[in-house]
């Protein structure tokens, strides 16, 4: 996805499909955390190619889940951070297995969406297969981005309506 926050729309759909059983914060952070490699690669190397090993299923799921789980645990325990987020959504205290499962779902959704939105291919199966994998045509890229924008708008509208302060 060319714009990382659009990943949150599909994460919100997954949350809705779980009927509120998933951890909303974990699934949303998980859907975006994989792109943390983009600024890190650029800062460390000046190289602008941004989708490397964090966009492989092994690193994306493992490292993405670890970073997301740690972030959710820290946010839920640090009152200052929690109070800032609770302006928008209710931070639900979930068991560790729910947080991890939600993190995995968010990270996996990110990787699957990126396969349909990046023409140059992602190292999805690295280190098993080193070439980039893509399932993108111009039409699928536009369709996935439009659907993502609509779903993200749904999330934003629910936040603005205060719906997530009572539901999450």
Evaluate whether residue 164 is within a structural domain. no
Domain containing 44 equals 4-156
26 within a domain of the structure (yes/no): yes
Total count of domains within the chain:
1
Whether the predicted model's global pTM rises above the 0.75 cut: yes
- pLDDT of 125 higher than 60: no
Phi, psi of 133 (to 5 degrees): -115, 135
For residue 161, tell me if it sits in a domain.
no
Mean pLDDT value across the chain: 83
Q: Considering the domain boundaries, does residue 143 fall inside one?
A: yes
Q: What is the pLDDT of residues 52-101, one digit of tens each?
A: 677 778 888 999 999 999 999 998 888 888 888 877 777 777 889 999 99
43, part of any domain: yes
In a domain? residue 168:
no
Tell me, yes or no, whether 21 lies in a domain.
Answer: yes
With respect to residue 96, please indicate whether it lies within any of the assigned structural domains: yes
**pLDDT score at 142:** 84
* Locus of tokens 């994460």: 11
């Amino acid at each position: 996805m060319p714009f990382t926050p659009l990943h949150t729309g599909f994460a919100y759909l997954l949350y809705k499909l779980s009927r509120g059983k998933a951890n909303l914060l974990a699934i949303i952070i998980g859907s975006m955390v994989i792109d943390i490699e983009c600024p890190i690669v650029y800062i460390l190397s000046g190289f602008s190619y941004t989708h490397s090993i964090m966009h492989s299923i092994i690193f994306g799921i493992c490292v993405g889940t670890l970073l997301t789980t740690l972030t959710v645990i820290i946010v839920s325990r640090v009152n200052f951070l929690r109070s800032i987020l609770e302006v928008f959504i209710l931070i639900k205290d979930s068991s560790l297995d729910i947080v991890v499962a939600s993190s995995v779902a968010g990270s996996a959704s990110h990787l699957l969406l990126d396969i349909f939105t990046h023409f140059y291919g992602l190292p999805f199966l690295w280190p098993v297969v080193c070439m980039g994998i893509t399932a993108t045509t111009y039409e699928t890229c536009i369709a996935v981005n439009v659907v993502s924008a609509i779903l993200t708008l749904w999330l934003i509208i629910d936040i603005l309506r205060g719906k997530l302060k009572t539901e999450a």
